[in-house]
Amino acid sequence: MVILMMTSDKRPTAFVISRRTSPSKKVRRENFVGWLFTLPALFMYAFFVLVPFLLTILYSFFRWNGVGPMTWVGVKNYMSVLQVPNLVGTIFNAFWLVVWFSIIPVGLGLIVASVIHRVATGRFGAVARTVLFLPQVIALVAAGIIWGWLLALPGLINQILKAVGLGVITRAWLGDFHWALPSVGIVGVWVLLGFCIVLLQTGMAKIDPSLYESARLDGASWFQEFLAITVPLLRHEIGVCLTVTVIAALAAFDIIWVTTAGGPGNSTSVPGIQIYVLAFTQRAIGLASALAVMLMVLVVIVILPIQWLTRESAQ
Amino acid sequence: MKVARGELWAGRALLLALMAFTILPFISIFMTALHPSGTVPGGLEWPENPQWINFVTAFKMAEMPKLLASSIFIVLSVVPATLVISTMAGFAIGLLRIPGSRVLLFSFVFGLTLPFQGIIIPIYFLERAIGIYNTRVAIVLPLIALYMPFAVFWMRAHFVNMPSELSEAARVDGATTWDLFWRIHVPLARAPVASLGILTSIWTWNQFLLCLVLVEDPTQRTMAGGLGAFQGHYANNVPLLCAGTILILVPTLVVFMLFQRQIIMALIQGAVKG
């Protein structure tokens, strides 16, 4: 602007155009310095993220044990991932985990957050939020170890079941083919529920209270209020919760590694676990890479629609 | 707001039940940790003679002093470097709007969806090739890089909202780009930088997969990585395993109690922006 005014005796439009097509030395220098600012971040990101990303795709087309020569096999590794039951099963298990890691924490989180919002706004609510949030800050490995013990045969869960007269269904939960996956899922609920509650409640606090007041004047019940006001206005926050928890489910590793390591059999094996086992114990680098590529594609396919639906409504 | 009495108590009861669900696991491992080493107690039993010595034993066996030193070293290497380089990049992309900043931003955002497992295999081979495998640096460098998508995105979100008048005024006074960054915008960015620091510290402290794959020696890992190794050795000694887990949790819990407001805020904002 300043330059324009100083040179107003010349034709300003022409000046602007010429300035755009060939930037002055000063502007070019500034841009150069600006690029220098991004270089450290860009270098680290390129070297340790983008290059490995491309290499994963490259490896996925070869048969390779990590030391010997690499043999080109085309899409054979991908065919194996889709056909071998142990491998394609990991993808089904990952979707099962989504129910436990996402649907339940987000659904239950919505209900609990609206309860906190309605009945516990004071000190009790603050304490409840802090306590419920606690599992989110501890290492997932620690959560896994704690629950590994709780779900063991002499552990707390079975003790409680016996105490309430359900002694017949006690078992070593993590060693049971049918119950291992839901048991691991419970650990996910424990870790993620508090996070969802706090995030959703923060969103609820932003909703105009007069909306609730007028609803209550009309005699709306908790449930009517919940469906008509809370859920629609919280779309964005719900989307965020779903995104975070779905990624946690599809890319689960730590909790499962320390509780079951994928067992018994392959009943709790998810892509993250199988990638590790294939690559670092069975030395099937190509196959592991193909599964890794499919995991990355899967995450994008699931996340994009969630982002899409919630971005739009946030406007 | 007026709420019916019955509903009030029902709501509070639900909250109390959930709080119990959250807290009981901690109480259970605490009680278990006090039972004689090598025994298999029940899930929630107070022992006849609490064996406080278990904590000392676990402290020695897990090589806690080394593990703590290692974790602190890793956090102090990763977090400042992440903050500095992501603030610089966020400044260039969000505020200077250098040519190509949209492409740059997009390439960083792309990284937000990448799970660590997706790229861990080539990182392993790269690190063997450049000779940093099985050192702390093997965890530090990829972690900084893996934080870049989120960190750059986070800092850009701050800088993009700064009024441009501020920069223009400084430019008129003859400030260089570096002055603009260091004297004007870094001091104003304290709050988002602090939140980012909290987030990356927690994530680093709890990092497991990178430790497992890239470092064989547990004493060169982070706390979570060390705990994983400890579990491998003492899986059958439940009281000792619980004692070790508690020891490893204590630093996190203390920090959470001290900074709970900031931590909760940072994690929530981090998710909303990310």
pLDDT over 80 at A16, yes or no? no
Q: What is the signed CA dihedral for A282, A273, B23, A164, rounded to 10 degrees?
A: -90
Domain that holds residue A233: 77-140+189-314
Across chain A, mean pLDDT equals 86
Q: Are residues A245 and A225 in the same domain?
A: yes
Q: CA B157, B162, B164, B166: dihedral to nearest 10 degrees?
A: -150
Q: Determine the distance from the C-alpha atom of residue B90 to the mean position of all C-alpha atoms in its chain, rounded to a whole number.
A: 21
| B88 and B181 Cβ atoms separated by less than 8 Å | yes
d(CA B252, CA A255): 18
The letter for the amino acid at B94 is G
Show residues of chain A in contact with B24, CB under 8 Å.
Answer: 156
A134 vs A126, higher pLDDT: A134
With vertex at residue B77, the alpha carbon angle to CA B71 and CA B83, rounded to the nearest 5 degrees, is 120
Residue percentage of chain B with pLDDT more than 70: 98
Give the integer Cα–Cα distance in Å for B141 and A47. Answer: 10
Question: pLDDT, tens digit, for every residue of A256-307?
Answer: 999 998 889 888 999 999 999 999 999 999 999 999 999 999 999 999 998 8
Q: What is the mean pLDDT of residues A37-64?
A: 95
Whether residue A121 has pLDDT greater than 70: no
Backbone φ and ψ for A63, nearest 5 degrees, come out as -100, 125
pLDDT at A6 over 80: no
- Cβ atoms A214, A173 nearer than 8 A: no
Q: Which residue of B has its CA nearest to A131?
A: B19
- CATH code reported for the domain at B63-222+250-273: 1.10.3720.10
Whether the per-residue pLDDT at A12 is higher than 50: the answer is no
CB A203 within 8 A of CB A237: yes
Selected for mutation to probe chain A from B15, B147, B256 (highest A CB count within 10 Å) is B15
Q: Does A122 reach chain B within 8 Å, measured CB to CB? A: no
Contact A240 B271 (CB under 8 A): yes
Residue numbers of A between 240 and 299 with CB closer than 8 Å to B: 240-241, 244, 247, 250-251, 253-254, 257-258, 271-272, 275-276, 279-280, 285, 288-289, 292-293, 295-296, 299
DSSP secondary structure, B151-218, as one string: HHHHHHHHHTTS-HHHHHHHHHTT--HHHIIIIIIHHHTHHHHHHHHHHHHHHHHT--HHHHHH--SG
Whether residue B8 is predicted with pLDDT greater than 70 in this model: the reply is: yes
Residue A17 lies in a domain: no
**DSSP assignment of A287-300:** HHHHHHHHHHHHHH
Say if CB A254 and CB B209 are below 8 A apart. yes
> Which pLDDT score, from 0 to 100, does residue B73 have?
94
Distances (CA, A) of B2 to A213, A216, B7, B211: 9, 9, 11, 52
Position with higher pLDDT, B273 vs A312 = B273
Q: What is the pLDDT of residues A171-225, one digit of tens each?
A: 889 989 999 999 999 999 999 998 999 899 888 888 888 888 888 888 888 788 8
Q: What is the mean pLDDT of residues B164-188?
A: 86
In the predicted model, is pLDDT for residue A13 greater than 70?
Answer: no
Domain co-membership, A62 together with A84: no
State pLDDT tens for residues B67-115: 889 999 999 999 999 999 999 999 999 888 888 888 999 999 889 889 9
Residues A123 and A224 in one domain: yes
For residue A11, what pLDDT is reported? 38
- The whole-number pLDDT of residue A78 equals 95
The pLDDT score that the predictor gives to residue A36 is 92
For residues A221 and A309, state if they share a domain: yes
Looking at the fold, whether A127 and A53 belong to one and the same domain comes out as no
- pLDDT band for position A140 (cuts 50, 70, 90): very high
Tell if the CB–CB gap between B8 and A137 is shorter than 8 Å: no
CA contacts within 13 A on the Cβ side of B101:
23
Q: A294 near A91, Cβ under 8 Å?
A: yes
Domain end: A50, A76, A102, which one? A76
Residue A116: CB partners within 8 Å, gap ≥ 6?
A125, A128, A129, A197, A201, B11, B15
Q: What pLDDT score was predicted for residue A218?
A: 86
Q: What is the mean pLDDT of residues A85-92?
A: 91
A92 shares a domain with A55: no
Helix (H) or strand (E) holding B97: none
A-chain residues near B263 (CB < 8 A)? 137
Residues 96-115 on A with a CB inside 8 Å of B are 112, 115
Of A136, A142, A158, the CB nearest to B245: A142
Q: Which of A28, A138, A207, A213 to mutate to test the interface with B (most CBs of B within 10 A)?
A: A138
Under 8 Å between Cβ of A172 and A157 = no
Q: Which helix (H) or strand (E) holds B32?
A: helix B5-33
Q: Please report, as a single letter, which amino acid is at residue A196.
A: C
Q: Assess if residue A158 is contained within a domain.
A: no
- H or E element in which residue B249 lies: helix B238-258
What ipTM was estimated for this complex? Answer: 0.89
Using an 8 Å Cβ cutoff, are A259 and B235 in contact? Answer: no
Which of A42, A56, A247 lies closest to B121 in CB terms? A56
Whether chain B has a CB inside 8 Å of the CB on A48: the answer is yes
Sorted by where each begins, the domain ranges of chain B are 63-222+250-273
Predicted confidence band of residue A2 (pLDDT cuts 50, 70, 90): very low
pLDDT for A10: 38
Q: Is residue A181 part of a domain?
A: no
Both A106 and A197 in a single domain?
yes
Classify residue B184 as exposed, middle or buried by CB count within 10 Å of its CB (0-12, 13-18, 19+). Answer: middle
The pLDDT of residue B235 is above 80: no
pLDDT at residue B166 is higher than 90? no
A121 and A270 in a common domain: yes
* Cβ-Cβ contacts under 8 Å, B178 against chain A: 33
Mean pLDDT of A43-60: 96
Residues A295 and A275: beta-carbon distance below 8 Å: yes
Distance from CA of A266 to the nearest CA of B (A): 18
**Cβ atoms B181, B91 nearer than 8 A:** yes
What average pLDDT does the segment A21-45 reach?
83
Q: Is the pLDDT of residue B38 over 50?
A: yes
pLDDT band at B58 (very low <50, low <70, confident <90, very high): confident
How crowded is residue A205: how many other Cβ atoms within 10 Å of its Cβ?
12
Cβ pairs A/B, distance under 8 A = 290
Query: Does the structure show a pLDDT above 80 at A23?
Result: no
- Among B43, B141, B142, the residue with its CB nearest the CB of A154 is B43
Mean pLDDT of A97-107: 94
Six token digits for residue B80: 């400042």
Which residue intervals of chain A are DSSP H helices? 2-6, 12-21, 25-45, 51-59, 76-83, 85-98, 104-119, 123-137, 140-150, 156-163, 180-205, 209-217, 222-225, 231-233, 235-250, 254-259, 271-280, 285-314
Of the pLDDT bands very low, low, confident and very high (cuts 50, 70, 90), residue A22 is: low
A72 and A86 inside one domain: no
- Angstrom distance (rounded) from CA A302 to CA A237: 17
pLDDT for A120:
67
- Chain A residues with CB inside 8 Å of B251's CB? none
* pLDDT number for residue B237: 86
pLDDT (0 to 100) of residue A18: 42
> d(Cα B135, Cα B220) in Å, to the nearest integer?
7
Q: Which single residue is written with the structure tokens 């050795």?
A: B233
Residues contacting A212, CB < 8 A, separation 6+: A225, A229, B1
Q: Are A121 and A84 within one domain? A: yes
Which of A132-136, B20-24, B42-46, B124-128 is predicted with the least confidence, judged by mean pLDDT? B42-46
- Minimal Cα–Cα distance from A183 to chain B, Å? 14
Q: What is the DSSP letter of B92?
A: I
A2 to chain B: which residues are within 8 Å by CB? 172
- The Cα–Cα gap between A191 and A233 comes to 25
In-domain check, residue A205: yes
Amino acid at B211: C
Query: Bridge-partner residues for A71, per DSSP?
Result: A63
pLDDT digits (tens, 9 = 90+) for A142-168: 999 999 999 988 889 998 998 898 888
- Do A293 and A310 sit in the same domain of this protein? yes
Residue B124: exposed, middle, or buried by beta-carbon count in 10 A (0-12, 13-18, 19+)?
buried
pTM given for the model: 0.87
Provide the chain A residues 148-177 that lie in CB contact (below 8 A) with chain B.
Answer: 149-150, 152, 154-160
Residues of chain A with Cβ-Cβ distance to B113 below 8 Å are 247, 296, 299-300, 303
Same domain, A244 and A196: yes
- Please indicate if any CB of chain B lies within 8 Å of the CB of A234: no
**What pLDDT score was predicted for residue B274?**
60
Residue A123 confidence (pLDDT) above 70:
yes
Q: Could you give the number of structural domains in chain A?
A: 2
